[in-house]
Structure 1
Amino acid sequence: MKEIAETLAAWRRDGVRFALATVVATWKSAPRQPGAAMAVAETGEVVGSVSGGCVEGALYEVAIEVLTSGRPRLAHYGVSDDDAFGVGLTCGGMLDVLVVPVDDQAYPEFAEVVTAVLGGEPVAVATVTGGVPEIGGHLVVTGTGVTGTLGHERRDAAVAELARGMLASGRTGVVHTGLEGRRREDDLSVFVQSFTPPPRMLVFGAIDFAAAVTRIGKFLGYHVILCDARPVFATRKRFPEADDVVVDWPHRFLPKAEVDERTVICVLTHDPKFDVPLLKLAVRTPARYIGVMGSRRTHEDRTARLRAEGVTEAELARLSSPIGLDLCARTPEETAVAIAAEIIALTWGGTGVRLSTTTTAIHR
């Protein structure tokens, strides 16, 4: 929903009712993952996508029906359905889409949700998708409290606890509990969607490759920070797409930056006076990815210097160096694609090999 949040906020400010369709479950090669959203306003305007074009036409009709009736509906699309080919889901996947009406009466908590999303504040939305006749009830969990209800006090408490755990790890998916909140039962199905601030990408080295990396980092949804000690190079004019441009020595800036398990670090300076003191700190952070630019000779020299600084072999193993996947990249833009591909593969467990040579699931 993040991609369409600004439009949805504008609709609510203008008093426009709409139906919000969210993918809550997928199987096999579904084109979009849980959390993908599409909205249909009472004016007929549409924003977002749940399948990349496969089922949007059919889902539009469901959304109009939900707006008319005021009642949520869970729609299922898949190759086993008689109308699957008719709606265009020919990729072999299946998906469940929950469609709910959004207005002050049906979804009063929505204003709180969209405000948090646009403000970069963590928020989780738990929505009943099965187990009771009345699906669509909402529970909104933030760092300061819980609003809404799923219809039962103990149920609310149990789901709120589960949602807090999923929000802390940034996970989205379906959880199960008993109708009265008993953990060992699974009568109730609840879709929990976590909205967390964007992960950070720290790019060190104000070079032409860094300009391309900041652009692709923004495209992938990162909050991108460019850092270099040289003020003549680290300028907003040279890096207009970076969220922040910092003039500082990298090893002095890193301890002041927020680095967590979702952070990726790209060290592009390939200069030992910058790299060694920075990497000595970086390998001891919880960052998900630490990529370092340079030739194989540069890498060997750099690792020798780091060993001399007391960096262990286990810490050295955290470095992706030379940085990126083997795409035979030449230009800064091609190199940025190779770096982004490595980050994506590491994040989701991809192999980096051509899909045409594999038989595993595409989305796993």
Structure 2
Amino acid sequence: MNTSSALSAAPRDLPVWQLAVASLQAGVPVALLCVLASTGSSPGRQGFKMVVTVDSMAGSIGGGIMEHKFVELARTLLAGGNFSPVLRHQIHRREAPADRSGMICSGEQQLLVYPLTSADLPTVLRITELLQQSASGRLWLSAAGLCLEQQAPAAPHYTLQLGADWAYSEKVGFRDQVTLVGGGHVALALSRVLASLDFGLTVLDDRPNLNTHQLNPYAHYKRTVAYEQLPQEIPAGPHQYVILMTFGYRSDLVALRALLHHPVCYLGVMGSQAKITELLATLRAEGVPEETLARVHAPIGLPINSRTPEEIAISIAAELIRERNTV
């Protein structure tokens, strides 16, 4: 089984590109705003986007006074007719000698205001299709124009070159991918939460007729697999998060053995402290080195005395947010 549900969450950018399509098709002037880089405590992170017309907008580059200023700048540029891309460095500190954003949160951003034209419509349509289909591609923005290329497997999610020959690229779709190994009640509750947090979501289980797996409407992909085959089922990479929440201790052990050396950024196991202690003791007895076991997050979830599947899901999602935002 390999399915994608109608209720699974779309990437954050989809409404942005949908408004761009509708505006270009209607002949309405439209500008794309994009955060090309961000450091420190910035209100919008790298890759955040907006589309702005004279009377509508979608998306966000972080909110606050800075976003308001850039929306007004975009509308002024649109009212003046054709304009060239505008790159602006913004510093969120009152004492900055130049490029002050009006905010005091201490970070910095590189922002782009980019005019979209009717010539860009085929590319914008294709980007929208890729996002709707959870398909891959690579978006490029530069002084030479907007284009879409095939995604190189080993390429980083974002690239940026500043200067006269500036160029920005990003992978289309979700940067961060979560795989839940085990499709039970907590996986269903966690899927519901993760659907709102801009994670691509896959749920795997080894039981072919599990109702909570089959009926999960939030996962982008669901498959029935043997846990011994997990390294072949889960991509490696710096934005891959894996959570083991299988039927019980034995299946957790099989899944964990399979993934101990799989290069992902986060590998966690759900369970009581007693179960986790026994699980790790078994692996130590099998000769697994301590440095290998140290990469396992277990038991997962922030300590909020959670009891129900929904409460456990909140605690796990909070831990994933903390991990993602410390990278």
Aligned length: 307
| Mapping of residues 108-187 of structure 1, within 5 Å | 110-111=124-125, 113-119=127-133, 120-127=135-142, 136-138=143-145, 140=147, 142-143=149-150, 168-172=155-159, 174-176=160-162
Q: Secondary structure at the match of 1:213?
A: helix
Amino acid at match of 1:7: L
Aligned partner (choices 65, 74, 91) of residue 87 of structure 2:
74
Correspondence 1:102 to 2:116: yes
Specify which of 313, 322, 345 is matched with residue 290 of structure 2.
313
Q: Which amino acid aligns with 1:171?
A: Y
Q: Name which of 222, 227, 234 aligns with 1:258.
A: 234
Measured against aligned partners, the alpha-carbon deviations of 1:226-252 in whole angstroms (never above 9, x if no partner) come to 233332444433x22122333444334
SS of corresponding position for 1:246: strand
Query: Shift of residue 21 of structure 1?
Result: 1.4
Q: Is the 8 A contact 1:266 1:292 kept in 2?
A: yes
Deviation (angstroms), 1:123? 0.3
Give the drift of 1:114.
Answer: 4.6
TM normalised by structure 2 equals 0.79
The correspondence of residues 1-364 of structure 1 with structure 2, limited to 5 A, is 2-3=13-14, 4-26=16-38, 28-42=40-54, 44-67=55-78, 68-72=80-84, 73-75=86-88, 77-78=90-91, 79=94, 89-105=103-119, 110-111=124-125, 113-119=127-133, 120-127=135-142, 136-138=143-145, 140=147, 142-143=149-150, 168-172=155-159, 174-176=160-162, 188=164, 190-198=166-174, 199-230=176-207, 231-237=209-215, 239-252=216-229, 254-261=230-237, 262-269=239-246, 271-349=248-326
Change (3 A) 1:242 1:71: same
Distance 2:320 2:166 in 1: 31
Q: Which runs of 5+ in 1 are unaligned?
A: 128-135, 145-163, 177-186, 351-364
Deviations 1:174-219 (A, max 9, x none): 324xxxxxxxxxx536242312443432212333221221122222
Amino acid at match of 1:69: G
Give the whole-Å Cα distance in 1 for the aligned partners of 2:89 and 2:117. 24
Letter in 1 for 2:77: V
Q: Aligned partners of 1:118, 1:39: CA distance in 2, in Å?
A: 18
Instruction: Structure 2: give runs of 5+ residues left out of the alignment.
Output: 1-11
Query: Is this contact kept in 1: 2:130–2:172, CA < 8 A?
Result: no
The 3 A distance-change label for structure 1 pair 15 and 250 is farther
Q: Secondary structure at the match of 1:21?
A: strand
Larger radius of gyration: 1
- Cα 1:56–1:345 change in 2 (3 A) is closer
Note if contact 1:70-1:106 (Cα within 8 Å) is conserved in structure 2. Answer: no
Judge conservation of contact 2:179–2:234 (CA < 8 Å) in 1: no
Percentage identity across paired residues of the two chains: 26
Structure 2 letter corresponding to 1:140: C
> Mean alpha-carbon deviation: is it higher for 55-64 or for 44-53?
55-64
Structure 1 residues 84-108: Cα deviation after superposition (integer angstroms, max 9, x where no partner): 99x8635454544321211135788
Alpha carbons 1:228, 1:234 under 8 Å: kept = no
Which protein, 1 or 2, shows the higher relative CO under an 8 Å CA cutoff with sep ≥ 6?
Answer: 2
1:291–1:324 Cα contact (<8 Å) kept: no
Alpha-carbon separation, structure 2, partners of 1:204 and 1:315: 20
Displacement after TM superposition at 1:41 (Å): 2.1
Which stretch has the larger CA shift, 295-304 or 305-314?
305-314
Q: In 1, distance between residues paired with 2:121 and 2:82? A: 11
One-letter code aligned to 1:97: L
